[in-house]
Structure 1
Amino acid sequence: MSDASYRDAIFSTPLDRVARFSFDERVVACFPDMIRRSVPGYGQILGMLGLIAQRHLRHGARVYDLGCSLGAGGLALAGQLAPDAFRYTGVDLSPAMVSRARETLAAECPDHAMEVIEGDIRQLEYQPAGMIVLNFTLQFLPPKDREAVVARLFAALEPGGVLVLSEKIRAEDEQENAWLVERYHDFKRANGYSDLEISQKRTALENVLVPDTLAEHHARLDQAGFSRTHTWFQLLNFASLIAFKHEASRGGATPTPDEV
């Protein structure tokens, strides 16, 4: 297995026509560098997955990682949980991502129950799960499909299960949103991206990545049936939410501090 990862330079030269962004072989080759330099707080979000699982995941339950890319979520969980603590199913639509993720997880987590499958999360036949991770994935689906996906995930979760949803967001106030976008571009410049790269990637992502507001995310989760939702992390215009599915036996009772 080759674990080579390259610096993201996909948009570093002027392009006559900027193609729509896709998770192809070029992106796979530089993805670790791309996401490290492009997503504020990505490492912190990954680092919390195991802690959230330790608190909320039933021992031995399935964890879905939807839009798993190279399996970083699985690696994070395996680094903090015993091999028998969970069963991991990563799902990605990109064959190149799936192939590389399988190689990585087999090499790095040989004692854990880890699988990666190629599939569309809108059509997947879900098995009961104790935890579902949706890291920067929902934003790439057409907005009209998002409500149905979240409803399916709620149905797949076992009582007491949790959904971790991380997304690029937009602020409701236009002035606030513009400030966040400007500071995000400063963040990318500080990480070595040029103005040309920032501009061309923004063009490539237009109408491919369509962000929601935090209020829209919370409303969608509430509508699906989740009993509580929290925004537990935000850095600039990137945020992560957690949504709780109550245990059926409690009849919708308010959870104790230990449960939350």
Structure 2
Amino acid sequence: MPKHDKIFATPQQDIPDFRFNEQVVSVFPDMISRSIPGYGAIIDGIGAICARVAQDRTRLYDLGCSLGAATLSMRRHVGDNQCRIIAVDNSEAMVSRAQEHLNAFVSGTDVELVCADIRDVAIENASLVVLNFTLQFLPPQDRADLMKKIYQGLVPGGVVIVSEKLRFEGERLHQLLDEMHLDFKRANGYSELEISQKRTALENVMKPDSKQQHYQRFKDAGFSEYSSWYQNLNFTSLMAIK
């Protein structure tokens, strides 16, 4: 059973930048479920999309795979079409635990787990690329180049899914949805101290984009069709088709 997230429950004098280390890995399922509204629906949706867009003998990429939730969802839905899943994360602790999760389920679909920076991974013969709450942790100046590389590595009809926390350009709308998200976290048992300290830990490492910025990045990379397919408060999942 996953541990309860208490990482920020006690006062910390100097709050370090958030890192996906062993401490976070040990409570990650609890942290995600209590922090991201609709996370389970997004994971289920990724599997459903995979079932429809995965092409025979192509690769499926999970970039920033964490504990492998999206990878497992794709593997459950991909069917018998000789696809190969490449799951990548730069946290050794995440990759190690993800391998345990994958080993717990029997599947005929091959999964290669890679500990690496997603910016260094070649994207080749891909029919689906997933970035599930990953892009927001990359330096903003690196995001466009990564999206262009993904576009070039997709086969015709290939799909990229990008799930992200959103920044809204309208100040009142941003404040309203941000407060509703904080209410979601409070309702899930996080204290004001935990919310405040985690926000401080994330402010230098997580830089959300607006939906308009995501759409412009898709367009600049070469995609002509893109849309949001899911949104809950200030969290969304987008897709673009080559």
TM bucket by the smaller chain?
over 0.9
Aligned equivalents of 1:147, 1:135: Cα separation in 2 = 16
Gap runs ≥5 in structure 2: none
- The alignment partner of 1:29 has SS state of helix
Unaligned runs of 5+ in 1: 246-260
Counterpart in 2 of 1:257?
Answer: none
Counterpart in the other structure of 2:183? 186
Aligned 8 A contact 2:51 2:74 in 1: no
Query: What does 1:48-67 correspond to in 2, within 5 Å?
Result: 48-67=45-64
2:14 is equivalent to residue 17 of structure 1 = yes
In the aligned structure 1, how far is the partner of 2:55 from the partner of 2:48? 13
Choose which of 72, 78, 82 in structure 2 pairs with 1:81: 78
- Equivalent residues in 2 for 1:1-150, closer than 5 Å: 4-84=1-81, 86-150=83-147
Aligned positions of 1:191-230 closer than 5 A: 191-230=188-227
Letter paired with 1:179: L
| Kept in 1: contact 2:218–2:240 (CA 8 A) | yes
Residues of 1 paired with 2:121 and 2:208: CA distance? Answer: 23
Alpha-carbon contact 1:83-1:113 (below 8 Å) kept: no
Q: TM-score, normalised by structure 1?
A: 0.90
DSSP 3-state at the match of 2:163: strand
Distance in 1, matches of 2:212 and 2:78, equals 33
Q: Is the Cα–Cα contact under 8 Å of residues 225 and 241 in structure 2 kept in the other structure?
A: yes
RMSD between superposed Cα atoms in Å: 1.2
Instruction: Specify the code of the residue in structure 1 equivalent to 2:225.
Output: R
Identity of aligned residues (%): 49
SS of the aligned residue for 2:141 comes to helix
Distance in 1, Cα, partners of 2:81 & 2:125 = 17
TM-score normalised by L of structure 2:
0.97
User: Partners in 1 of 2:38 and 2:76 — Cα distance?
Assistant: 19
Secondary structure of the residue aligned to 2:104 is helix
How many equivalent residue pairs? 242
- DSSP 3-state at the match of 2:227: strand
